[in-house]
């Protein structure tokens, strides 16, 4: 009888461990949606303020809200970000223009600029590193 009690306790403990690990895995893979710039929306100087204290993960979603008559969101590579320009032909760059665009982060560096003349040069750009 004592052996059955230990076996049952081990089975219960194992089930609890599996449940705990499952919960931890679900928490680690839960995706977060961020409104870029919070109430201010997609605007300049976000890296100095909005990014502060945030940790991003691959699969998180950034929602860019802006006036589509005056702005856009251009997804670019590192060179496009540094130079504030879209490459002529690229599978990794595209321009969003709805005023309410959602972008899922890839693991690593993710670069965004406003492609309207002078906006990126005036610091309307964002670099997010997703773990």
For residues 17 and 64, membership in a common domain is answered with no
For residues 93 and 37, membership in a common domain is answered with yes
Give residue 110's pLDDT.
98
For residues 93 and 43, membership in a common domain is answered with yes
CB 131 within 8 A of CB 107: yes
Question: Is the pTM for the entire model greater than 0.85?
Answer: no
For residues 41 and 89, membership in a common domain is answered with yes
For residues 18 and 59, membership in a common domain is answered with no
For residues 10 and 36, membership in a common domain is answered with no
CB 38 within 8 A of CB 66: no
User: CA of 126: how far to CAs of 24, 39, 46, in Å?
Assistant: 30, 16, 7
For residues 69 and 119, membership in a common domain is answered with yes
For residues 50 and 106, membership in a common domain is answered with yes
For residues 17 and 56, membership in a common domain is answered with no
Each residue of 64-91: b (16+ CB within 10 Å) or e? bbbeeeebbbbbbeeebbeebbbeeeee
Give residue 48's pLDDT.
84
**pLDDT digit string (tens) for the chain, length 131 residues:** 555 555 555 444 444 444 444 444 444 567 999 999 999 999 999 998 999 999 999 999 999 999 999 999 999 999 999 999 987 766 667 899 999 999 999 999 999 999 999 999 999 999 999 99
Residue given tokens 């009690």 in the structure block: 5
- What residue numbers bound the domain in which 49 lies? 32-130
Give the separation between CA 125 and CA 120, rounded to whole angstroms. Answer: 6
For residues 57 and 102, membership in a common domain is answered with yes
């Amino acid at each position: 009888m004592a052996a059955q009690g230990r076996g049952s306790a081990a089975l219960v403990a194992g089930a609890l461990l599996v449940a705990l690990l499952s919960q931890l895995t679900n928490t680690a893979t839960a995706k977060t949606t961020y409104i870029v710039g919070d109430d201010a929306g997609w605007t300049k100087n976000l890296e100095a303020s909005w990014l502060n204290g945030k940790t991003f993960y691959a699969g998180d979603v950034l929602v860019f809200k802006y006036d589509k008559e005056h702005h856009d969101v251009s997804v670019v590579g590192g060179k496009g970000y540094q130079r504030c320009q879209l490459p002529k032909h690229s599978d990794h760059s595209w321009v969003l223009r709805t005023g309410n665009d959602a972008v899922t982060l890839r693991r690593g560096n993710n670069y965004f600029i406003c492609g309207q003349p002078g906006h990126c040069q005036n610091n309307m750009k964002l670099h997010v590193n997703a773990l």
